[in-house]
Structure 1
Amino acid sequence: MPPPAYNLLDEPWIPVHWSPNASLPPTGEPPDRIGLRELLLRSGDITGLAVTSPPAHSALLRILYALTARVTGLDEVGTRDWGSRLQDIWDEGELPKGGIAEYFARYEHRFFLFDPEYGRPWMQDARLAEQCDADKTAGVNKLIVTRASGNNHAWFRADRDARPELPTTSEAVLNLLVWHYYGPSGRCSSREVNGAKSASMTAGPLRTALSYHPEGETLFETLLAGLVRPEATVTPTRDQCPWEWDELPDPDKAPRAPAGPCSRLTACSQHALLLVPQGQDGQLVRDAYITWAYRKGRIPRSDPFLIWQVSQQGNPYPRPADSRRALWRDLDALLLKEPPGTAQPRRPEVFAYAFEVSEDLRVRALGFEQEAQAKDIQFVSGTTPPVLGFAERDSPRTALPVARLRQFGELYGRRLDRAVKQAWAAYVRDAKAKGDTWAAEAAGRYWPRAEAEFWDRFRRLDRSGTVLDAGFDRAGSRAAFLALAVEAYDTVTASVTRTQRGARAVSDARIGLYGGARKKTSGPAKGQDA
């Protein structure tokens, strides 16, 4: 029996937030989910994606950026200035209907999720049904990244591999994308190609990373702000998305390197997947194959939405997702061309072009805190207020104040962490005691208030360019963050100050908040009298 013809262009699978001004259908209620075609046609009526999983949101945005580049013709430099063409489309307030119709007419047959006729299901490899053992599939619990599978511990729900709750097709597609971008390395289902079996896969291109996306008032603005100017040599025939390939790649050969922005965004997966539908209506998925895509080689990690920094060994790597780290602590790395820091952070490439279209853009951070190999820890998401107007290029006098504000917040956060740990070690009279409980409580008290202090002072910076240092109050800012650290320190350590030993431990460690005791010198300082 042939599988259902579920086409992602028109089936309602993408959850969206509608603008209050969006035109309503005759029923009076806009749909909760829509297909790709309606999403692009009505992107100006949509405020954003309603995808609750940050890694799925991040992955889907990359697909949408590539489609936007295709339907607008911004996938190549062309004969007319690329930036001017981008601005013209921005001014129109909608994506070109003709470009959408032409592109989807050409590739409609490649957007079937379960492909009964052409054998090319979207973002999948139909060959897995023959190359993998049908009795040892990954299953839907493995596919849905928030579920426990195998012998893993269940935290929020109990899922049994023998009788799993079947996911909706919408949920399955979004998790298919999470696997392509954030999938683990290590053991997987065995795949046999050319008589040789392998069961080891390489990590996805965004695994452990946090990506930063310029965000507008509508999805239309967000998609245009996420485009990157191609190199002059890039052509659509070479810079292809996976659904545009004439043939699927040979798993026995090394993967092809991305040839431009579209392939960088969509064709860097190291995983191969195949979804198995339940029944004929295509609304549920009952099983999934998940295995490796290439037996050897790795696609270079090069993504325009990541902050790249340099390790102590001199190797570039993307700034990792950290659920304990608020987005404001990365702000100077987003706004400044050469932000301070020993890691030599490099601003995401996309911001060089987002500045061109609007200053009234927010930044949304999306990621997945993970270990490099297999362990998934926590989703990471955050959004700033409109900040791109403070970029170094447009408002150079705010550059140093933004960096200083972030540095003051970081400085007193580090000092607080060290001070409470030192106080605990002194109190228990064990130099090796870590004091993690005190440190966690202090961090929980300090960082949310430090974030509020940062944004309050950030909004006060002058953007006119006529005020020295943008009106930044250096002394006042330092004192404000110090006061927050002192308050958190006093609150956390108060329980032991009723004893002489505890009071002394707390008092001695408190000086760490102020930078520690001055080092004694054996003689007078240079240029001073004894």
Structure 2
Amino acid sequence: MPLTNVLDDPLFPVRWRPGSAPPVGSGPEGEVGLRPLLRHAHEIENLAVAIPPAHSALLRILYALTARVTGLDQALDGREAWILRRDEILAAGQLPSDGIDAYCARHHSRFFLFDDAGGRPWMQDPRLVEECDAAGTAGVNKLIVTRPAGNNHAWFTHTSDTRPVPPSASEAVLSLLTWLFYGPSGKCSARTVNGTKTSNATGGPLRGTLSYHPEGGTLFQTLLAGLVPPKQQVRPAEDLCPWERETLPDPEGPPPAATGPCSQLTGQGVHALLLVPDPEDASRVVDAYITWGYRTGRAARPDDDFLIWQKSQAGNRYPRHANSSRALWRDLDALLLAEPPGQARPRRPAVFDWAQEISEDFVEDLRVRALGFEQDSQAKDLQFVDAATPPVLGYLERRAATSRPAVGQLRVLGERFGQRLDRALRRAWRTYVNDPKDDADAWAVNGAARYWPGAEREFWRRFAGLDRTGTTLDGGLDGPAARAAFLRLALAAFDEVTDQVAGTQRGAKAVQEARTDLFGDRRAASAPGAAKEKEPTP
């Protein structure tokens, strides 16, 4: 029975460009292995991975492979030379096939998905067969993140632990990546190393975060735009991906240190997994070991070039968390601006500093794709996040501005009236029910559902009209008109939500008093020495 190999077998779903035909050996829906994915990246529009955290994890694997096969995994002659090399590859129109073939030939044995009698299954630890109790495996329902396991409620599918449906190898490998990057902390299957049995894991390096990726018209452009040049002292022989290491890491120590972009992209997982194939059908998985990968975890998240980093009031640096209720446009100034506004002092993902240096023939067409998983820090999974902008990276600010850029003003205005609407609706409800301690969520949630979609449309409409030349003051934004537009949206949402009680005397009084909050506190603003209204923060 042939073993599944991640390089060659059709495990990864992609979206082919119109007029492009999948190569021989592709899956029924055009799925491909990593080798043909790289060879035909210029004919692929995008990945078609339905699970956003798996999409995010797979992109990081592909960035590392792209750097390897192009020679962009080092910058011996400095970063300017690295940029020129990337532009040469872009101009060639596709990734170099000789580089792809040479890399795949050198590491082919490390890309088998399953253990073949002492081998090294890809991104897994074969020692778990001996170090974990065979009766205490996790099972495929625990492996597949969209399935309920144990007594949990069904999310996407209805399955039973007593009769689990074996997932395909394609579904299993994507869930494997999700676990390595977004896995939970806390209790897990016990693992015995050197006589010590432990059953606690720390959370994955991207757990609960939202990552932002430059996205071009083809996967080829996306992969090159997503690369960050290594420091000049980085050497590929030291900056290793997990499958490139000669030996497995020591589970009693911390994860291997990231010595460059490839190890940073692929080697920061803190869980250990091992997939068990169906003995009669290697295209399916019947069980999985899932446990801790390192006895010593990390006190802080490792650096990641695709996260928005900001600071807490105590000065601690942390990545912006995924929030499924927050539209992507509300983060746009933190992505585009060198010095975005906000008390948290956000810093855009480092990848955008280098995406803006890509050839001018491509940068104007680059979008932003946001991918993540809204989760708590331990084991609760809430919602996937997947969103994209129109082409916006032509607006990237190359240096700190002396005045607040237009995109920042737009975001602040939209946020400000959303916050005022929330405050006004809560005040109106509490006054109406005569209970100042009521959480007033009903009206606030109802108003948010009415306001934010319209605010998003208004934002993109005005954003599309901004000046790209840098010659117009404040980007040509008509600030008063934008303010009036967001105010109208907030007023409309407020009136729609409160209309049900506005016909009563008590309701009319509560509504009218609270409605003034939409305009700001004019008395406080006009008072001598009064502080201005706080600027909304991300």
Q: Same fold (TM over 0.5)?
A: yes
Secondary structure of the 1:495 match is: coil
Structure 2 counterpart of 1:260, one-letter code: G
Supply the distance in 2 between the matched residues of 1:469 and 1:351 (Cα, whole angstroms).
22
**What does 1:275-294 correspond to in 2, within 5 Å?**
275-294=275-294
Structure 2 counterpart of 1:412, one-letter code: F
In the TM superposition, what whole-angstrom CA distance separates every residue of 1:208-241 from its partner, at most 9, and x where no partner exists? 1000000000000000000001011111111100
Secondary structure of the 1:425 match is: helix
Supply the distance in 1 between the matched residues of 2:443 and 2:24 (Cα, whole angstroms).
58
**What does 1:348-363 correspond to in 2, within 5 Å?**
348-357=349-358, 358-363=363-368
Measured after TM superposition, the shift of residue 30 of structure 1 is 7.9
Conserved 8 A contact 1:390-1:399: no
Farther off after superposition, 222-231 or 147-156:
147-156
Measured after TM superposition, the shift of residue 406 of structure 1 is 0.2
Supply the distance in 1 between the matched residues of 2:23 and 2:313 (Cα, whole angstroms).
57
Measured after TM superposition, the shift of residue 363 of structure 1 is 0.1
Partner of 2:534: none
Supply the distance in 2 between the matched residues of 1:151 and 1:470 (Cα, whole angstroms).
55
Supply the distance in 2 between the matched residues of 1:284 and 1:402 (Cα, whole angstroms).
49
Partner of 1:84: 84
| Count of aligned pairs | 523
- Provide runs of 4+ in structure 1 moved above 3 Å: 23-31, 394-399, 519-522
Measured after TM superposition, the shift of residue 468 of structure 1 is 2.1
Measured after TM superposition, the shift of residue 312 of structure 1 is 1.5
Measured after TM superposition, the shift of residue 399 of structure 1 is 6.2
Partner of 1:151: 151
Partner of 1:495: 500
Conserved 8 A contact 1:397-1:470: no
In the TM superposition, what whole-angstrom CA distance separates every residue of 1:48-95 from its partner, at most 9, and x where no partner exists? 000011000000000000000000000000347101001100111100
Partner of 1:324: 325
Partner of 2:430: 425
Is the counterpart of residue 126 in structure 1 residue 126 in structure 2? Answer: yes
Measured after TM superposition, the shift of residue 297 of structure 1 is 3.2
Change (3 A) 1:399 1:462: farther
In the TM superposition, what whole-angstrom CA distance separates every residue of 1:115-155 from its partner, at most 9, and x where no partner exists? 31552000000000110010011100000111111121224
Farther off after superposition, 39-48 or 429-438:
429-438
Question: In angstroms, what is the RMSD of aligned CA positions?
Answer: 2.1
Conserved 8 A contact 2:4-2:113: yes
Structure 1 counterpart of 2:51, one-letter code: S
Structure 1 counterpart of 2:426, one-letter code: K
Supply the distance in 1 between the matched residues of 2:211 and 2:252 (Cα, whole angstroms).
31
Conserved 8 A contact 2:146-2:157: no
After TM superposition, the score normalised by the length of structure 2 is 0.94
Partner of 1:104: 104
Partner of 2:12: 14
Structure 2 counterpart of 1:14, one-letter code: F
Supply the distance in 2 between the matched residues of 1:287 and 1:269 (Cα, whole angstroms).
21
Supply the distance in 2 between the matched residues of 1:53 and 1:156 (Cα, whole angstroms).
11
**What does 1:161-172 correspond to in 2, within 5 Å?**
161-172=161-172
Measured after TM superposition, the shift of residue 314 of structure 1 is 1.3
Farther off after superposition, 307-316 or 486-495:
307-316
**What does 1:12-411 correspond to in 2, within 5 Å?**
12-23=10-21, 31-79=29-77, 81-298=81-298, 300-357=301-358, 358-393=363-398, 400-411=405-416
In the TM superposition, what whole-angstrom CA distance separates every residue of 1:445-476 from its partner, at most 9, and x where no partner exists? 00010000000000000112232222110000
Structure 2 counterpart of 1:435, one-letter code: A
Conserved 8 A contact 1:425-1:432: yes
Secondary structure of the 2:350 match is: coil
Conserved 8 A contact 1:397-1:468: no
Supply the distance in 1 between the matched residues of 2:28 and 2:19 (Cα, whole angstroms).
11
Structure 2 counterpart of 1:62, one-letter code: R
Farther off after superposition, 180-189 or 271-280:
271-280
Supply the distance in 2 between the matched residues of 1:29 and 1:111 (Cα, whole angstroms).
18
Structure 1 counterpart of 2:469, one-letter code: S
Change (3 A) 1:525 1:247: closer
Unmatched 5+ residue regions in structure 2?
531-538
Measured after TM superposition, the shift of residue 159 of structure 1 is 1.6
Measured after TM superposition, the shift of residue 279 of structure 1 is 2.6
Measured after TM superposition, the shift of residue 156 of structure 1 is 4.2
Measured after TM superposition, the shift of residue 266 of structure 1 is 0.3
Supply the distance in 2 between the matched residues of 1:263 and 1:499 (Cα, whole angstroms).
65
Supply the distance in 2 between the matched residues of 1:197 and 1:460 (Cα, whole angstroms).
62
Supply the distance in 2 between the matched residues of 1:442 and 1:320 (Cα, whole angstroms).
23
Partner of 2:536: none
Measured after TM superposition, the shift of residue 397 of structure 1 is 9.6
Conserved 8 A contact 2:337-2:400: no
Match among 490, 512, 532 for residue 507 of structure 1: 512
Change (3 A) 1:520 1:138: closer
Conserved 8 A contact 1:398-1:463: no
Conserved 8 A contact 1:231-1:260: yes
Unmatched 5+ residue regions in structure 1?
none
Secondary structure of the 1:456 match is: helix
Supply the distance in 1 between the matched residues of 2:53 and 2:157 (Cα, whole angstroms).
20
Change (3 A) 1:315 1:397: closer
Measured after TM superposition, the shift of residue 516 of structure 1 is 2.5
Structure 2 counterpart of 1:338, one-letter code: E
Structure 2 counterpart of 1:150, one-letter code: G
